[in-house]
Amino acid sequence: MTPILEIKKLYKSFGGLLALNNISFNINRGEIIGLVGPNGAGKTTLFNCVAGIERPTEGQILFANRGRTISISGKKPEAVTALGIARTFQNIRLFDNLTVVDNVKIGRHCRTRSLFFGAVIRNKFQQAEEKEIAESANQFLEFAGLKGRGEEIASSMPYGDQRRLEIARALATEPCLLMLDEPAAGMNPQESRDLMDLIRRIRNKGITVLLIEHDMKVVMGVCERVVVINHGEWLAEGEPQDVQNNPKVIEAYLGTGAAGAA
Amino acid sequence: MGNLKLQNLTRGAKIRIGLLILTLILPFFPFVTDYMLHIAILIFLYMILALGLNIVPGFNGLLDLGYVGFYGIGAYTSGLLTYHFGLSYWVIIPLAFINGAFWGILLGAPTLRLTGDYFAIVTFGFSELVVLFLTNEIWLTRGPLGLPGIDVVSIDLTLFGGPKWEFVGELPYYYLAIVMVLVTVFVMYRIQDSRLGRAWFAIRDDEVAAVSCGINLLGYKVIAFAISAAFGAVGGSFFARWVTFLSPDMFKFWESFLILCMIVLGGMGNIWGVMIGALVLVSLSEVLRELLPLLGLPVGVRFLAFGLIMVLMMRYRPAGMMPIPAVAAKMRAGRVKRKKVKATVSMKQ
């Protein structure tokens, strides 16, 4: 398997705080990989660096897509999305005042082109594009299990559905790599199971999934490989079972002494 | 398309067509005076301006306090091109549109990186700059003397052997203004329901999520600002050819504030709300102008009345008279958080 994303010696500091300290790991094409670590370990910072929202202080992020490998560290977030990396947010960030289907349509933005004159004149090109946007938006909604709910206002949906909508919107950008930031947070067991099923279906479409998650049932249930970071440093990597039994990981989560007791 | 049978129309569409017909036949009612037509034209003019401004705070969530600068640029573009070159108004409309957009890009491209109030202050400065320029560059604008004797609008068919028809009185302007409002509304509706409009709404609701969907913030804000400025300039071009006299003090900051009030009062981001805001505030202004002297108060007191209205609106209906559908739905559900609604007018001058 070839890596789709290579993170090489990544550093990120906020003033005196070193949020990421020499992080290196690869993500292979087509896998579901989990990124875990205690609170404040730097998981979301790492996400933001890959997504272009934060600029890494040092280090490289290489993204392989369509046979080319490009460095995306320091690229603007909209450029990263256009290259094929989509994400969701830890605290859901939907377009609250818009309908569900409009949220997904906005996800189609970077794959479409019409602007002011297209909007006003509605030429053939724009009409065809709008039709494609509407059709694919509905497909993505259906895929995420939100069929027939397109006209609801996004912020009035239940929490679990908002998470699904965020995933549908991310999928609408046609990514090769989808990054989910705590998708199961606040979900009940049934919703978590549905989510795991959704993640597997996303992978079966050929999309690589990188997942930050605290819910160990989800991590163990769906991830094929797990990377653990703590205090901004790489700690362990491997199959979920091995990582779970790794004394260093247990120590990071439960403190010294716990490793011996376990 | 072409299916325009009356029974197929929704209630909303019937109301709209009814209102349009009423507006079209209004001048033929016996009680309608020239003064009333004048006010009606003023309302239409402010509808165009408010719809144009609405793009920036209503669609993009940015506070713009300098809109009148573009209005002034459009008015002087129109006035000077008529005064010096005698251009026809039909040529001037696109030129004013382009000139407005040009200045919008020129101002917006470097400053739209600023957020919130900082951007508002820049726009405020710009509008003051426009007034100072118009006042002091006497070689071009005749300064405080004003620009008198601008030709009225005319339909000139002499090139094709037809007649030349000049717009005399208020009636032709009344219909011209209606056409311009209709075109503006048409453009706004089309934008609202397009990729461009959705990108703007995305920026308004959540900038971080918007960039994650691949939207270039600066680019789309500049487009918004340019289109908004262009409509302001078109409004100005009409104003110049209608009142046939321009002077710099017509484009004071007060105008920007008034147009912003219309948007907030009507419902930011809602095309119909914005038009109703223009209707209410312009007519209220006229009513107060008549009423206040009878009460023994100076006419300037009406500004206080506007302030009071805005305070009451912010307290009891912060989303305006006709909020955008989502906000209206949330208000019905009783879940609207007062603070979450963007109350941009709390920005005092």
Residues A209 and A179 in one domain: yes
Which residue's entry shows tokens 């300290």?
A: A21
Of B187, B196, B213, the CB nearest to A115: B196
Q: Across residues B242-251, what is the average pLDDT?
A: 93
Section B162-167 average pLDDT: 84
Contact of A192 with A199, CB cutoff 8 Å: no
**pLDDT attached to residue B2:** 46
Tell me the pLDDT band of B218, cut-offs 50, 70 and 90: very high
Please report, for the domain that includes residue A198, its CATH number. Answer: 3.40.50.300
Write down which residue in A131, A151, A174 finishes a domain.
Answer: A174
Q: Between B191, B194, B324, which is nearest A97 by CB?
A: B324
Work out the minimum CA distance from A147 to partner chain B, whole angstroms. 20
pLDDT reported for residue B343? 44
Which residues of chain A lie closer than 8 angstroms to B213, CB-CB? 81, 106-107, 109-110, 169, 173
Is pLDDT at A115 greater than 60 in this prediction? yes
Q: What's the pLDDT at B339?
A: 44
Final residue of a domain: which of A159, A174, A189? A174
In a domain, A93, yes or no: no
Say if residue B201's pLDDT is above 70.
Answer: yes
Q: Do A86 and B212 touch (CB under 8 A)?
A: yes
B208 Cβ under 8 Å from any chain A Cβ: yes
Q: How far apart are CA A257 and CA A177, in angstroms?
A: 38
Amino acid B105 reads: I
CB-CB under 8 Å, A81 with B211: yes
Asked if the structure places residue A53 within a domain, the reply is yes
Q: What is the pLDDT of residue B347?
A: 39
Strands A3-14 and A225-230: unpaired
Both A179 and A80 in a single domain?
yes
Q: Please answer yes or no on whether A153 and B329 come within 8 Å at the CB atom.
A: yes
Does residue A123 sit at the B interface (CB-CB below 8 Å)?
Answer: no
Give the pLDDT mean for B21-35.
91
pLDDT beyond 70 at B166: yes
Nearest chain B residue to A83 by CA: give it. Answer: B214
Q: How far apart are the first and last CA of chain B?
A: 48
Q: Which two tokens stand for residue B165?
A: 């028809």
More confident residue, B261 or B157: B261
Whether B329 has a pLDDT exceeding 80, the answer reads no
A189 versus B10: which is more confidently predicted?
A189
- For A54, name the nearest residue in chain B, comparing CA atoms only: B208
Instruction: Identify whether residues A153 and A181 lie together within a single domain.
Output: no
Neighbours of B279 (CB within 10 A): 18
Shared-domain flag, residues A69 and A182: yes
Residue A91 located in a structural domain: no
The answer to whether residues A6 and A80 belong to one domain is yes
Number of Cβ within a 10 Å radius of residue B37: 18
Residues A2 and A112 in one domain: no
The average confidence (pLDDT) of chain A is 91
A38 DSSP assignment: S
pLDDT, mean over chain B: 89
Do A61 and A104 belong together in one domain? no
- Give the pLDDT of residue B119: 94
pLDDT band at B6 (very low <50, low <70, confident <90, very high): low
Same structural domain for residues A71 and A194? yes
pLDDT at A56 over 80: yes
Question: Among A87, A114, A126, whose Cβ lies nearest the Cβ of B212?
Answer: A87
What total of structural domains would you count in chain A? Answer: 2
pLDDT of residue B9: 76
The encoded tokens of residue B46 equal 């402010």
Say whether both A138 and A210 belong to one domain: no
pLDDT at A194: 93
How high is the pLDDT of residue B321? 86
Whether pLDDT at B349 is above 60 = no
Rounded average pLDDT over A139-165: 93
Q: Do B213 and A110 touch (CB under 8 A)?
A: yes
Answer yes or no: do A81 and B214 touch at CB < 8 A.
Answer: yes
Q: Looking at the complex, does the CB of residue B94 fall below 8 Å from at least one CB of chain A?
A: no
Confirm whether A18 is domain-assigned: yes
Q: Is the domain of A215 the same as that of A239?
A: yes
User: What's the pLDDT tens digit per position in B106-122?
Assistant: 999 999 999 888 999 99
Residue A90 falls inside a structural domain = no
* Domain boundary, last residue among A174, A202, A231: A174
In the predicted structure, residue B346 carries a pLDDT above the cut 80 = no
Does pLDDT of B54 surpass 70? yes
Which of B206, B214, B217 lies at the smallest CB-CB distance from A82? B214
Q: B212 and A114 in contact by Cβ < 8 A?
A: no
The pLDDT, as a whole number, for residue B348 is 35
Predicted pLDDT at B341:
46
Query: Tokens 């020129």 sit at which residue?
Result: B106
Return d(Cα A165, Cα A104) in angstroms, integer: 8
Cβ-Cβ contacts under 8 Å between A and B: the total is 116
Residue A55 domain-assigned (yes or no) = yes
Domains of chain B are: 31-346 (1.10.3470)
Q: Which residues lie below 8 Å from residue B134, measured CB to CB, with a gap of 6+?
A: B72, B76, B141, B143, B248, B251
Q: Which residues of A touch B327 (CB under 8 A)?
A: 97
Residue A92 lies in a domain: no
A249 and A135 within one domain: no
Tell whether A153 lies on the interface with B, counting CB pairs under 8 A: yes
Question: Does A185 lie in the same domain as A161?
Answer: no
Interface check for B215 against chain A (CB to CB < 8 A): the answer is: yes
Q: Which residues constitute the domain of residue A121?
A: 99-174
pLDDT, tens digit (0-9, with 9 covering 90-100), for B171-183: 999 999 999 999 9
Q: Distance from B188 to chain A by nearest Cα, in Å?
A: 8
Look at residue A24 and tell me if it is in a domain.
Answer: yes
- B216 close to A (CB below 8 A): yes
pLDDT at position B1 is 41
pLDDT reported for residue B338: 46
The mean pLDDT of B17-25, rounded to a whole number, is 91
